[in-house]
Chains A and B, each alone.
Chain A
């Protein structure tokens, strides 16, 4: 023990000096604790206390993140290189906070969830905890932090899906999610343990990490990296690991589905970028450790094709949106493959827009389901003349999801395309051509299933009249604002350049 004594003061100093930089996360932890206690004692109507407290906490944490941007955008390694705070991490944190705030509003105005016997206080309690996990995912640079943050988000998500178990389908979805997720994270932990054994360090930013990995026989490295990718792939739901997502998205309550298909997926990409960075950084000097470019190019192509073509055959709206989000994963992987600064920037832009579009799409699906009990595309027949505001917003959002001008979805896809094209012109890789072609073709395919909704709503007549349950609630205003943002950012993209 005594031999460590001289280092203690240094260790303490290093730890203490890191604390000011994780102020947003500390605020989230405090919010989490306060919300638990508040929900116990101040149940009230619709758990209002828990709602307002968690919203306030999240906004304060965003405020501190703003301070971090103002203070300077240099890269900082904190807590013995476990956490890295930089511009990209802060941008991702803003996206997560935005999605979680929308999720909170969605829960508050979703009548199915509100009428649940258990109340929704515990769901609000989960928000700061999951946001903490998401933030850590965006910042982690060690294998330990990667594992902890992914598990934090996963456990929170299992609870969200399983929380409102009002029927067979929901419990089934939660079981599939929990079992598949735990299995994937166990496989990832085994891969991580092998990586640790091969390199002797858990810091992926440590230069030793890559150097030692290069000294290990290639099949062993490939095995360890693929096992690790299983855990990250579960969060991204790219193709060999996408089986859970349509079932879970269909079975879970709509607000939860909206959240699951947005925030953890984006966080998965943040962690993927972090994990790949040292590999790309060193590739020019040492021998190639693992051929990420080919692997991810193949995965991206298959993901785009499977996601978009499977969506064509779906009749359930939530299931269709689930497959479309798999297609979007494949598309965004294109930016990861192009591995440049521009690629990462285009990824951040793509996901800022994706978060808006996806949350709006699920909010609309949830709202229309409540008003007309329509869950299938066929049920949307003739809705265009009944739910005017909703359907107009839906059409704009769907056009944006397809990626047509003048919406922001078009620009998001354009940036990813140009990042991939830049990579092609600099490397001449045949995989980039294949990616670009698949991306363009599947965008056309996506038009067919997205436009099925307006086709039914406007051009077909319903056999029996609808009895609309008129819901006067602020959700439609939120949806309208999001739709407006999609068009606004499509015309003035500089408004959200980080």
Chain B
């Protein structure tokens, strides 16, 4: 059996890759991909810990809800990014800066 720590290492690595993508990418879609990686890191954690839970359910149920909500959030974000492309002809967040102090 794979020890618990290995799962946690994988999920921590996924989370860090996701954060790196969010902070460094110059493309809104790639940022969304990074967010998705972070979410999946958390979901992996939840399922792993669920194995050691006293009821063996709450973590897995949580993971299911998280997957559904992530899908909903991504659907909304993609529609919004499409809209941004219509007006700006680019989806580079650093070039979209009409609003600022």
Q: Which residues of chain A have a CB within 8 Å of any CB of chain B?
A: 143-144, 147-148, 151, 154-155, 158-159, 162, 165, 167-169, 171-176, 178-179, 182-183, 185-187, 189-190, 192-194, 196-197, 200-202, 246-247, 250-251, 310, 313-314, 319
Chain A hits for B53, CB < 8 A = 200-201
Q: Is the CB of B80 within 8 A of A174?
A: yes
Q: Is the CB of A190 within 8 A of B100?
A: no
Given contacts A147-B69, A171-B83, contact A202 B45 (CB under 8 A): no
Chain A hits for B41, CB < 8 A = 190
Q: Is the CB of B38 within 8 A of A173?
A: no
- B73-101 residues with Cβ-Cβ distance < 8 A to A are 73-74, 76-77, 79-81, 83-84, 86-88, 93, 96-101
Give the distance in Å from the alpha carbon of A313 to the alpha carbon of B93 in the complex. Answer: 25
Given contacts A173-B99, A178-B76, contact A189 B66 (CB under 8 A): yes
Choose from A159, A167, A186, A196 the contact partner of B39 (Cβ within 8 Å): A186
When C-beta atoms are compared, the residue in chain B nearest to A247 turns out to be B99
Q: A171-B83, A183-B34, A201-B53 are in contact. List 9 more A-B contacts (CB 8 A).
A: A147-B69, A165-B86, A172-B98, A178-B80, A193-B62, A197-B45, A201-B54, A247-B99, A319-B101
Interface residues of B: mostly helix, strand, loop or mixed? helix
Chain A hits for B87, CB < 8 A = 165, 167-168, 171
Give the distance in Å from the alpha carbon of A389 to the alpha carbon of B25 in the complex. Answer: 50
Q: Is the CB of A155 within 8 A of B72?
A: yes
Choose from B38, B65, B72, B101 the contact partner of A313 (Cβ within 8 Å): B101
Choose from A167, A173, A190, A250 the contact partner of B42 (Cβ within 8 Å): A190
Give the distance in Å from the alpha carbon of A159 to the alpha carbon of B76 in the complex. Answer: 7
Number of A-B residue pairs with CB-CB distance less than 8 Å in the complex they form: 140
Given contacts A162-B79, A168-B88, A196-B59, contact A151 B73 (CB under 8 A): yes
Q: How far is the CB of A413 from chain B (nearest CB, A)?
A: 27
Choose from A154, A167, A190, A250 the contact partner of B15 (Cβ within 8 Å): A190
When C-beta atoms are compared, the residue in chain B nearest to A196 turns out to be B49
Chain A hits for B46, CB < 8 A = 193, 196
- B47-68 residues with Cβ-Cβ distance < 8 A to A are 48-49, 52-54, 58-59, 61-62, 65-66
Chain A hits for B31, CB < 8 A = 179, 183
Q: How far is the CB of B35 from chain A (nearest CB, A)?
A: 5
Choose from A171, A196, A251 the contact partner of B58 (Cβ within 8 Å): A196
Quick one: which of B48, B52, B69, B93 has the most chain A CB within 10 A?
B69
Choose from B48, B58, B80, B97 the contact partner of A201 (Cβ within 8 Å): B58
When C-beta atoms are compared, the residue in chain A nearest to B75 turns out to be A155
Chain B hits for A159, CB < 8 A = 76
Q: How far is the CB of A141 from chain B (nearest CB, A)?
A: 13
Choose from A155, A165, A174, A176 the contact partner of B73 (Cβ within 8 Å): A155
Q: Is the CB of B38 within 8 A of A183?
A: yes
What are 16 inter-chain pairs, A to B, with CB distance below 8 A? A147-B65, A151-B72, A159-B76, A162-B80, A168-B88, A171-B86, A175-B81, A175-B83, A178-B80, A179-B31, A183-B38, A196-B45, A197-B49, A202-B58, A250-B99, A319-B101
- B25-44 residues with Cβ-Cβ distance < 8 A to A are 28, 31-32, 34-35, 38-39, 41-43
Give the distance in Å from the alpha carbon of A420 to the alpha carbon of B80 in the complex. Answer: 42
Q: Is the CB of A148 within 8 A of B69?
A: yes
Give the distance in Å from the alpha carbon of A154 to the alpha carbon of B93 in the complex. Answer: 20
Given contacts A196-B46, A197-B49, contact A171 B69 (CB under 8 A): no
Q: Is the CB of B42 within 8 A of A171?
A: no
Given contacts A190-B45, A246-B101, contact A144 B76 (CB under 8 A): no
Q: How far is the CB of A176 from chain B (nearest CB, A)?
A: 8
Q: Is the CB of B83 within 8 A of A193?
A: no
When C-beta atoms are compared, the residue in chain B nearest to A145 turns out to be B65
Chain B hits for A319, CB < 8 A = 101
Q: Is the CB of A155 within 8 A of B35?
A: no
Q: How far is the CB of A270 from chain B (nearest CB, A)?
A: 20
Q: How far is the CB of B53 from chain A (nearest CB, A)?
A: 6
Q: How far is the CB of A259 from chain B (nearest CB, A)?
A: 17
Choose from A143, A169, A310, A314 the contact partner of B99 (Cβ within 8 Å): A169
Q: How far is the CB of A136 from chain B (nearest CB, A)?
A: 13
Q: Is the CB of B77 within 8 A of A182?
A: yes
Give the distance in Å from the alpha carbon of A194 to the alpha carbon of B77 in the complex. Answer: 26
Chain A hits for B74, CB < 8 A = 182
Q: Is the CB of A193 within 8 A of B42?
A: yes
Chain B hits for A178, CB < 8 A = 73, 76-77, 80
Q: How far is the CB of A224 from chain B (nearest CB, A)?
A: 11
Q: How far is the CB of A143 from chain B (nearest CB, A)?
A: 7
Q: Is the CB of B93 within 8 A of A179?
A: yes
Chain B hits for A190, CB < 8 A = 15, 38, 41-42, 45
Chain A hits for B73, CB < 8 A = 151, 154-155, 158, 178, 182, 185
